[in-house]
Every structure is written in C-alpha cells, then in structure tokens.
C-alpha cells in the first residue's frame, strides 16, 4: 500500500459476530480468511474453508481477515475484530 502512495496504511476494521468457530492451528497468531455479511443491522464473519497457504481460492474469495491470537479458538457467536481487505 505504501508503494501505491497511500498515506493510510492501516486496514479498516469492524466488529462482527463469528458465525462459526474460528479455529487456529499452531502456536502463533493466525489471520483467518473470511467473508463478511451484514444481516439485521449487524456484521457476521464466516471463515472460509481450506486456509492453507497454497489455497488461492480462499484468498480470492475473502473480503476480510479475523485474527486469532496464540490462545486458541474463537467460538461461534463471539464478537471478533475484522480487518477489511476489500
């Protein structure tokens, strides 16, 4: 983004409700690719299947990222911080 000449380098964020569990595998923070939808006035985040780094379809279909810290899984229904990527 900096190379494109943009001054604002932080991704915009919204708070959403997790529609499914956001499961982290491994011992470091993960950014899980997801889709975002607004229904009945609130944002809903749904994780995409196939989160592997080699899976281009989930990268192409994602419009947001949900950070899952080192501590584990974000359960369905929990409020999550969503980074908008589109």
The CATH code of the domain that includes 35 is: 2.40.340.10
Number of domains in the chain: 1
51 occurs within a structural domain: yes
Query: Per residue in 50-65, pLDDT tens?
Result: 888 888 888 889 999 9
6 occurs within a structural domain: no
Domain extent, residue 25, equals 13-84
**pLDDT score recorded for residue 33:** 94
2 occurs within a structural domain: no
Length of the chain: 86
pTM above 0.85, yes or no: no
Element of type H or E holding 68 = strand 64-68
Q: Indicate if the alpha-carbon torsion angle 3, 14, 33, 63 is positive or negative.
A: negative
5 occurs within a structural domain: no
**pLDDT score recorded for residue 17:** 96
């Amino acid at each position: 983004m900096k190379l494109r000449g943009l001054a604002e380098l932080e991704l915009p964020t919204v708070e959403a409700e997790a529609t499914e569990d956001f499961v982290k595998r491994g011992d470091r923070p993960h950014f899980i690719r997801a889709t975002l939808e607004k229904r009945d006035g609130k944002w809903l985040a749904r994780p995409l299947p196939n989160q592997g780094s080699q899976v281009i379809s989930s990268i192409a279909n994602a419009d947001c990222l949900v950070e899952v810290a080192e501590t584990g899984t974000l359960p369905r229904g929990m409020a999550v911080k969503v980074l908008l990527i589109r």
